[in-house]
Amino acid sequence: MNPFAASKFLLRGLAMWAVLGGLAASASPFLPADDSQVLERLRAKPFDPATHELHELRARLAVAPTNPVVACQFARQCIELSRSEANPRYLGRAQGALAPWWDAPMPPVEVLLLRATIKQSQHDFTNALTDLAAVLKRDPANAQAWLTKATVLTVIGDYAGARLACRPLGQLTTGLVALTATVSVTALDGQAATSADLLNRALQGDPQAGAADRLWALTVLGEIATRRGQPAAAEHYFKSALALGLHDPYLLGAYADLLLDRGRNAEVVALLGNESTADALLLRLTLAEAALVPPPASYPAHVASLQARFEAGHLRGDFVHQREEARFTLELLHEPAAALRLAQANWQVQREPADVQVLLAAAGAADDAAAAQPALAFMHQHHLEDVQLERLASQITLAREP
């Protein structure tokens, strides 16, 4: 029985009050000492063709805000930047460019596709799938729509649907891209070994593949090897992917997870030392710092920064960061009960291995075996092969034996 249920809402409001109070209190505006003081770095490189193009598109958009071609070009560029720079502010800009069609029932196909991509990134998976279905009804040969649909269905754990969405890709895109998409699903659905084998061979047999395609395939191979308990192979794939020289935050996160699991914390700090924009990467960096003895000087500031970001998210009414917040609450704040609530809420939205992991870990730490059941059932249903998850699951099932 929870005697607090009724007043929880009010208390949440009060918590928010306290947080905003804290935000204001921590703020200490200053007058910079001299004119040349750098206040903000907008991008990694001083002169970046992508942001330059964005400037031009913004100017064109200002003149013709309802031109769907310009709006889509601008939005697409923003989405690309949101990924490569791990800066979600660009997603809001993309939505802004699509504002004339945001609530339209039947916008142009290209707008629909971009709208679905933005909704997916806001974890509005239901509406993303609706938009994708509308795209595919009008343009069944739209490879990007099939890819995005497969991704969304994988994230929510609908592997059967995701496999179906991958099927047309063989005809619509390169063999490597189609196979990478398919293997991302099948490897989670009980066929890890054969999937990895197939993809590895396809990669070897396609030396002409573009860097982005190779990076994606290598990342997927690295993740499968990590889950199968083959850290040396996983590291080989991740390092080959990094050697391609593209900045991919998703790859950095996957490699950092492998290093964290192996206790190679100093290497995580070296890998992610400059990656403090993306919450997910800052979280991994801070986890590694916490494990170092003594923690580096930046550690307390990083914890405070993560906390401030999650709290700002609460104030905004955003719920997209629950996976990271659950891990943060569990591993850095050491509050299993609160972490479990976040992991459970997150489980209602996403079902990736990382979501299984945080739910199992939080349930184990909170000593609540019942809370772990949905994740255990999911693992069992899909024969999910993942040594880390199996380790967590066995700890929970062992604890249940009287």
Partner 1 sequence: MWVCLSPWTAGAHTQSSAYLMIQTTPAGVTGQWDLALRDLEDAVGLDANDDGVITWAELRARQAAVFAYAQARLHIQGDGRPGTLVMDDLRVDNHSDGAYAVLTFAVPDIGHPTRLGLDYRAFFDIDPRHRGLLRLEQGGQTRVGVFSPETASQQFDLSAAGNAAIPNPFLTFVREGVWHIWSGYDHMMFLLALLLPGVLKRTGRGWEPVAANRPALVNILKIVTAFTAAHSITLSLAALGIVHLPVRLVEASIAATVVLAALNNVTPFFAERGWMVAFGFGLLHGFGFANALADLGLHTGQMAATLLGFNIGVELGQLAIVAVFLPLALSVRHLMFYQRFVLRFGSVAIMLVASTWLAERVFDFKWLPF
Q: Which two tokens stand for residue 148?
A: 């995005």
If we measure between CA atoms, which residue out of 392, 351, 372 comes closest to residue 155?
351
Compute how many other C-beta atoms are within 10 angstroms of the C-beta atom of residue 377. 10
Instruction: Write down the least CB distance from residue 379 to partner 1, Å.
Output: 19
Location of structure tokens 């942001």:
51
Task: Indicate whether 7 belongs to the interface with partner 1 (CB under 8 A).
Answer: yes
Task: Indicate whether 251 belongs to the interface with partner 1 (CB under 8 A).
Answer: yes
Task: Indicate whether 239 belongs to the interface with partner 1 (CB under 8 A).
Answer: no
| Closest to partner 1 by CB, 264 or 351 | 351
Total count of residues recorded for the chain: 402
| Closest to partner 1 by CB, 264 or 321 | 321
Which residues neighbour 292 within 8 Å (Cβ) at sequence distance 6 or greater? 265, 266, 269
Instruction: Write down the least CB distance from residue 40 to partner 1, Å.
Output: 4
Q: Which two tokens stand for residue 229?
A: 């308990």
Applying the rule CB under 8 A, the residues between 76 and 135 that interact with partner 1 are 76, 79-80, 83, 86-89, 91-93, 95-96, 99, 102, 117, 120-123
Candidates 8, 167, 201, 383: give the one binding partner 1 (CB under 8 A): 8
Write the binding mask 12 to 31 for partner 1: x where contact by CB under 8 A, - elsewhere. xxxxxxxxxxxxx--xxxxx
Task: Indicate whether 321 belongs to the interface with partner 1 (CB under 8 A).
Answer: yes
CA 299, 302, 304, 307 torsion: positive or negative? negative
How far apart CA 128 and CA 134 sit, in angstroms, is 10
How far apart CA 177 and CA 91 sit, in angstroms, is 25
Write the binding mask 53 to 72 for partner 1: x where contact by CB under 8 A, - elsewhere. --x--x--------------
Instruction: Write down the least CB distance from residue 86 to partner 1, Å.
Output: 4
CA torsion 75-325-18-317 (nearest 10°) is: 40
Applying the rule CB under 8 A, the residues between 349 and 368 that interact with partner 1 are 350, 352, 354, 366-368
Q: Which two tokens stand for residue 109?
A: 């196909």
Which residue type is seen at 352? E
Segment interacting with partner 1 (CB under 8 A) among 3-11, 197-205, 224-232, 260-268: 3-11
Task: Indicate whether 48 belongs to the interface with partner 1 (CB under 8 A).
Answer: yes
Q: Which two tokens stand for residue 244?
A: 């391609």
Candidates 177, 183, 343, 389: give the one binding partner 1 (CB under 8 A): 177
Instruction: Write down the least CB distance from residue 49 to partner 1, Å.
Output: 12
Burial class (CB in 10 A: 0-12, 13-18, 19+), 93: buried
Instruction: Write down the least CB distance from residue 77 to partner 1, Å.
Output: 10
Task: Indicate whether 336 belongs to the interface with partner 1 (CB under 8 A).
Answer: yes
For residue 294, whether the previous peptide bond is cis, meaning omega lies within 30 degrees of 0, is yes
Candidates 369, 374, 382, 387: give the one binding partner 1 (CB under 8 A): 369
